[in-house]
């Protein structure tokens, strides 16, 4: 009985219908924009009332009558009823739904008359390619309606100037600045993907991190940070041993380093702590953003060690990294089932684990991934999902692994 509908709860339901964009979708169907009263075409809108059932009439007749009288006495809304009958109480009609016979009645009730008229006018003037998007995603349009004209301006520019090859700062569109684009990449991406031809979209880049590259703009150069781990290797114009260097992706790709091994490390402190190793370069990883490394063809001739956190995302990144640098050999470091079980008591919570199965894992890495999904270790520790961070692995074990796998610098003095 506490959940029986009131005028306020009905208004809330009506606002939910509005916020879902149902009316906007209906307006854009079959040229309904030209209709003076939308409901004459699609039919009245009925909103179900949560109210008494037959057993309530028997058990608490007074409350049922109060509910009915309150709804039937008001004159603002049209109310339909349903009939219940019993031997004790006879036939009783109870309010069952509110009916809006015209769109104007509905809009007046929720206070959206002015907004609806403005939207209808906007949609009448909207090019069909944008109407098609709005029909599919009316909620997006409602959320960004105040700035949708700016989104249209950007889309129209790219339709006329596909793959412009300029920086976003160089866009000469009145009222559009780079801050607007940065703050609206998500919705811009949705609209641009819907209205631009496929030839104007780079499918290898995403809406957020790769927005500029996806739609043919210049992007600021990606940076790659690396360290020379062999003190006997010299880097041009730098006299110090084992320098820590950052280059743009193109310059990194153009390098010709006399190395045989590379270590890609996702943790900065681990990256900085790596020991001196023969013929080795260490690269500071950037999670899923390793597209810049694909340009460095010389990397594909090296033996590469990849070391990330032992969790579902870390293993997924490893799998994608292998695919990106194929056919070079990539060996993971402490990212297998044996490591997971050895250090299981040091595992922590993984906030948002993946559920898909990466295809580029070895058998041992795959066992670790399935163990993370199964979460037996997590249940033992009272955690929903687990991950093993790099910092918890013994540094003595790390040094031993790399020295045994690669060797100390002085081992290669007379090698050639």
**Last residue of one domain, picked from the residues 166, 188, 214:** 214
The residue among 262, 384, 270, 408 whose CA lies nearest residue 334 is 270
Classify residue 123: in a domain, yes or no: no
Q: Are residues 199 and 311 in the same domain?
A: no
Hey, what are 72's tokens?
A: 């039937």
Where b means 16+ CB within 10 Å and e means fewer, 249-268 reads beebbebebebbbbbbbbbe
Residue 152 has a pLDDT of: 96
Classify residue 88: in a domain, yes or no: yes
Q: Are residues 106 and 198 in the same domain?
A: no
Report, as ranges of residue numbers, the positions in the chain whose pLDDT lies below 70.
Answer: 1-2, 58, 85-90, 288-289, 411-416
Residue 19 has a pLDDT of: 96
Q: Are residues 246 and 373 in the same domain?
A: yes
Residue 2 has a pLDDT of: 65
Residue 416 has a pLDDT of: 34
**Which H/E stretch holds residue 78?**
strand 78-86
Classify residue 2: in a domain, yes or no: no
Q: Are residues 295 and 193 in the same domain?
A: no
Q: Are residues 260 and 363 in the same domain?
A: yes
Q: Are residues 304 and 208 in the same domain?
A: no
Enclosing domain of residue 40: 7-118
Q: Are 38 and 22 in contact (CB under 8 A)?
A: no
Q: Are 88 and 61 in contact (CB under 8 A)?
A: no
Q: Are residues 365 and 255 in the same domain?
A: yes
The tally of domains found in the chain comes to 3
Angle at the Cα of 390 (from 387 to 392), degrees rounded to 5? 85
Q: Are 150 and 43 in contact (CB under 8 A)?
A: no
Can you give the pTM of this predicted structure? 0.67
């Amino acid at each position: 009985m506490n959940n029986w509908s009131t005028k306020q709860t009905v208004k809330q339901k009506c606002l939910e219908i509005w916020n879902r964009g149902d009316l906007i979708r209906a307006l854009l169907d079959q040229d309904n924009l030209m209709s003076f009263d939308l409901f004459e075409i699609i039919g009245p809108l009925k909103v179900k009332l949560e109210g008494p059932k037959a057993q309530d009439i028997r058990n608490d007749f007074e409350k049922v009558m109060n509910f009915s009288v309150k709804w039937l006495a008001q004159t603002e809304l049209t109310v339909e009823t349903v009939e219940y009958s019993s031997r004790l109480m006879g036939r009783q009609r109870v309010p069952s739904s509110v009916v809006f016979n015209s769109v104007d009645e509905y809009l007046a009730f929720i206070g959206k008359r002015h907004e609806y008229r403005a939207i209808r006018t906007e949609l009448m003037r909207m090019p069909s390619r944008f109407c098609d998007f709005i029909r599919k995603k009316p909620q997006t349009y409602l959320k960004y309606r105040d700035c949708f004209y700016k989104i249209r301006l950007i889309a129209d520019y790219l339709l006329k100037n596909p793959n412009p090859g300029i920086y976003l700062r160089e866009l000469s569109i009145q009222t559009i600045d780079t801050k607007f684009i940065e703050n609206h990449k998500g919705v811009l991406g949705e609209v641009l993907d819907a209205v631009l031809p496929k030839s104007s979209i780079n499918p290898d880049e995403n809406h957020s991190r790769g927005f500029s590259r996806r739609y043919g703009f210049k992007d600021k150069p990606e940076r790659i940070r690396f360290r020379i781990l062999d003190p006997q290797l010299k880097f041009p114009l730098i006299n110090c041993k084992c320098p820590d260097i950052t280059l743009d992706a193109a310059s990194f790709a153009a390098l010709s380093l006399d190395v045989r091994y590379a270590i890609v490390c996702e943790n900065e402190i681990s990256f900085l702590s790596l020991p001196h190793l023969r013929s080795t370069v260490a690269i500071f990883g950037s999670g899923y953003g390793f597209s810049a490394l694909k340009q460095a063809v010389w990397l594909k001739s090296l033996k590469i060690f990849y070391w990330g956190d032992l969790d579902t995302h870390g293993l997924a990144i490893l799998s994608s990294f292998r695919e990106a640098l194929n056919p070079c050999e990539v060996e993971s470091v402490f990212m297998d089932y044996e490591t997971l079980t050895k250090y299981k008591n040091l595992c922590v919570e993984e906030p948002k684990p993946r559920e898909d199965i990466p295809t580029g894992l070895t058998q041992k890495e795959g066992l670790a991934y399935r163990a993370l999904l199964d979460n037996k270790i997590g249940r033992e520790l009272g955690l929903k999902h687990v991950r093993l961070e790099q910092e918890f692995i013994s540094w003595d074990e790390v040094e031993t692994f790399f020295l045994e796998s690669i060797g100390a610098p002085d081992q290669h003095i007379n090698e050639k």
